Structure 1
Amino acid sequence: MAANNNRRMSGKKGAQVGSGGQRRKGLEGRGPTPPAEMRKGHKKNRIANAQAKRTQGRPSNRTGGPRGKATSEMVVGRNPVVEALREGVPAVTLYVQQFIDNDERVREALQLAGDRGGIHLMEAPRPELDRMTNGLNHQGLVLQVPPYEYAHPEDLVAAAYDEGQDPLIVALDGVTDPRNLGAVVRSVSAFGGHGVLVPERRAAGMTAGAWKTSAGTAARTPVARATNLTRALEQYKKAGIVVVGLAADGEHAVGDLAALEGPVVIVVGSEGKGLSRLVGETCDYRVRIPMPGGAESLNAGVAAGVVLYEAARRRA
């Protein structure tokens, strides 16, 4: 009898010696039920997959195609994705790795995407996410940000006059850090400006980083893009708008410039090189920000904020 029991215990079928507790993990809870868009085989999952594939298949050009649109951007990593969703960065699709560890950041990302609405949730195997992100450390979360819809330079002027106000615009010359662009957008919004103008090439664009730094103000403050910044400024001058360039050796102090009371474009250069030669020659005035503390320069976001404050004070 004992020999027969031993044969049963050593066979492939039935219980095995020492198996107690091995299936305990299988009985543990697996967290909340995932949304319908992430459940394989569900109708909403198939619809989300199809829509995401169509979005990925659209042709685009990062440096600006015939319509001046940038390509979509991927935000990768658990912390960057959660921060982007918290700051309201526009998003098309949230990709979640299959069998991902369901930690606090993953749950928050799913919650934020679900609460916002309009963001497709897709489950993808790790190799697919590796391919999409060119091997970056995505940690199982990838957020697809749609191309930014840039305004036309003339739109900024038209919007101001539609509101019965003189245009107050900031143009950036050679500013390549998206965080500086986002900070300028935030300052323009804070001081009642009507938009930001950037060159199409060799300049920061409205990436997820710029959106985050703008603290949501990019949703209501337009950013226009010009093929040639000098020509765009010349067109503004023909429309009766004064072009004011910031320069460390400017002939006027910013607090003494009465031109800030009327229609004006404030041109801010990079912290290191300042204004380019052609843009500097196009300016009606070159103004400086007095800095008694001895600093040689300010970054674009801070410099724009100082001049915008002075313009808003004079207009008030």
Structure 2
Amino acid sequence: MVQTENTNADGLHGPILICPARFHNPKMSRPRPNPSPNRNRTGHSGPARANRHTQGGGIARLDEDDLAMLLESHPEPLLLVLDGVQDPHNLGACLRNCDGAGVVAVITPRNHSCPVTETVVRVSCGAAGHIPVVSVTNLARCMERLREESGVRLVGTSDQATTGLYETDLTGPLAIVMGGEEAGLRRLTTENCDELIRIPMLGEVPCLNVSAATAVCLFEAVRQRGGFLP
């Protein structure tokens, strides 16, 4: 849990940087198994599960239509958008963070992103079986739809931001937008964010790993929401 009481009284914050990291892009063909094929995250069977497309081995994958149905039952969702995370260890750790923070769904672009592989499932410690991962063809268009149709505010992290994480309102319908290991947020993704923020960095190391930065942002949102996510 992030302790905002330790923030300097003068409001001084260091930069938010998502650290480039060396990674490998696995070609594994078997995504995660679904332990509960007849239920979605809300516990109800229905189209959000029935409309899933199957990948290799009969494993299901959510699309944008399924996301819209998930959001119907979550009026103030907390979402995570991952723009080009390609390391399966980072994706697995992010899913584990999301499970702990009560995230409704994780959204990733279909191309240039790590799929849910066996490594992802293992690193997530089971969270991959509980967090819907929505794969979209056009991430910028999906972000526009989230804003216009569901009233979701999109908050991205950037080293160019002037606003600190702990100065930002993270209540209400919200999507935290994180960049990939190498390039961070792409231009169109950045342009579709409603706000850009920094994580304070007070030591000598200038950046956090993407999964660590995701945890910091998500649990600050949990703190602001009083530990309760509808």
TM beyond 0.5: yes
Counterpart of 2:129 in structure 1 is: 219
Contact 1:185 1:221 survives alignment (8 Å)? yes
Counterpart of 2:177 in structure 1 is: 267
Moved over 4 A (4+): none
Q: Would you say 1:305 and 2:226 are equivalent positions? A: no
Counterpart of 2:167 in structure 1 is: 256
Contact 1:72 1:147 survives alignment (8 Å)? no
Counterpart of 2:100 in structure 1 is: 190
TM-score w.r.t. length of structure 1: 0.53
Contact 2:106 2:134 survives alignment (8 Å)? yes
Q: How many angstroms apart in 2 are the aligned matches of 1:166 and 1:189?
A: 16
- Structure 2 SS opposite 1:204: coil
Q: How many angstroms apart in 2 are the aligned matches of 1:219 and 1:192?
A: 14
- Structure 2 SS opposite 1:169: strand
Counterpart of 1:238 in structure 2 is: 148
How far does the alpha carbon of each residue in 1:243-282 deviate from its partner, in whole angstroms, 9 at most, with x for none?
A: 1111122121111111x11111111002332111111111
Q: How many angstroms apart in 2 are the aligned matches of 1:167 and 1:154?
A: 16
State the 1:205 CA deviation.
Answer: 0.7
Q: How many angstroms apart in 2 are the aligned matches of 1:304 and 1:175?
A: 12
Give structure 2 stretches of 5+ with no counterpart: 1-26, 35-55
How far does the alpha carbon of each residue in 1:210-246 deviate from its partner, in whole angstroms, 9 at most, with x for none?
A: 1111100111111000001111111111121101111
Letter in 2 for 1:205: P
Q: Would you say 1:247 and 2:176 are equivalent positions? A: no
Counterpart of 2:33 in structure 1 is: 90
Q: How many angstroms apart in 2 are the aligned matches of 1:193 and 1:147?
A: 25
Counterpart of 1:155 in structure 2 is: 66
- Structure 2 SS opposite 1:307: helix
Percent of pairs with identical residues: 35
Q: Which one has the largest radius of gyration?
A: 1
Q: How many angstroms apart in 2 are the aligned matches of 1:232 and 1:276?
A: 14
Aligned-residue Cα RMSD (Å) equals 2.2
Q: 1:271 to 1:248 in 2, by over 3 A?
A: farther
State the 1:161 CA deviation.
Answer: 4.3
State the 1:90 CA deviation.
Answer: 3.0
How far does the alpha carbon of each residue in 1:96-151 deviate from its partner, in whole angstroms, 9 at most, with x for none?
A: xxxxxxxxxxxxxxxxxxxxxxxxxxxxxxxxxxxxxxxxxxxxxxxxx8354121
Q: How many angstroms apart in 1 are the aligned matches of 2:217 and 2:159?
A: 13
Contact 2:28 2:117 survives alignment (8 Å)? no
Counterpart of 1:53 in structure 2 is: none
Q: Which has the higher helix share?
A: 1
Alignment of 1:1-316 (within 5 A): 72-73=29-30, 90=33, 146-156=57-67, 158-163=69-74, 165-239=75-149, 240-258=151-169, 260-316=170-226
Q: 1:175 to 1:208 in 2, by over 3 A?
A: same
Q: 1:294 to 1:154 in 2, by over 3 A?
A: farther
State the 1:297 CA deviation.
Answer: 2.0
Higher relative contact order (CA 8 A, sep 6+): 2
Q: 1:168 to 1:303 in 2, by over 3 A?
A: same
Contact 2:156 2:193 survives alignment (8 Å)? yes
Letter in 2 for 1:268: M
State the 1:152 CA deviation.
Answer: 2.1
TM-score w.r.t. length of structure 2: 0.71
Letter in 1 for 2:158: A
Aligned length: 178
